[in-house]
Homo-oligomer: A and B are copies of this chain.
């Protein structure tokens, strides 16, 4: 079985709703198990246990929340142990053009520095799902699709 962690930070519930939709997509994939957890329940030492890690943050000043960055900074103690694992990211923001793409990309960059494997999406939200405000039909479909795609990749690489 390929183990996926979906880790989210959410104050308004918007990012949490995205995380639930990502989990829904991932759970459709045979051979994958999904842990859906708020950031507060994830420690850096937990990360090496998973085959795929998907992280979601609201857009704060064009990048992830400081609390999520703190987890990445602490993950340096396990640097090298995440190499080859599958990664993905999503973000909610107040506005279109409000920094949501850059937030997704900043999480992906941190994952690349860990040597992780990421995948884009040919249609919809290319770098990772973004929601403007709360989850709507469009962003929900993108979240489900991300969960499916990354779970499949995790099964292919680590199942």
SS class of chain A's interface: helix, strand, loop or mixed?
mixed
Copies in the complex: 4
Asked whether A130 is an interface residue with its Cβ less than 8 Å from the other chain, the reply is: yes
Within 8 A of B (CB), among A114-140: 114-130, 132, 138
Complex contacts, A84 vs chain B, CB 8 Å: 119
Cβ A97 vs Cβ B65 within 8 A: no
Which one, B70, B128, B129, contacts A66 given CB within 8 A?
Answer: B70
Which one, B60, B63, B120, B128, contacts A116 given CB within 8 A?
Answer: B120
Complex contacts, A109 vs chain B, CB 8 Å: 61-63, 99, 102, 105, 127
Looking at chain A, what size class is its interface with the partner chain? 35 or more
Cβ B100 vs Cβ A102 within 8 A: no
Known contacts A69-B69, A109-B63, A112-B120; A100/B101 CB under 8 A: yes
Complex contacts, A38 vs chain B, CB 8 Å: none
Within 8 A of B (CB), among A78-101: 79-80, 83-84, 95-101
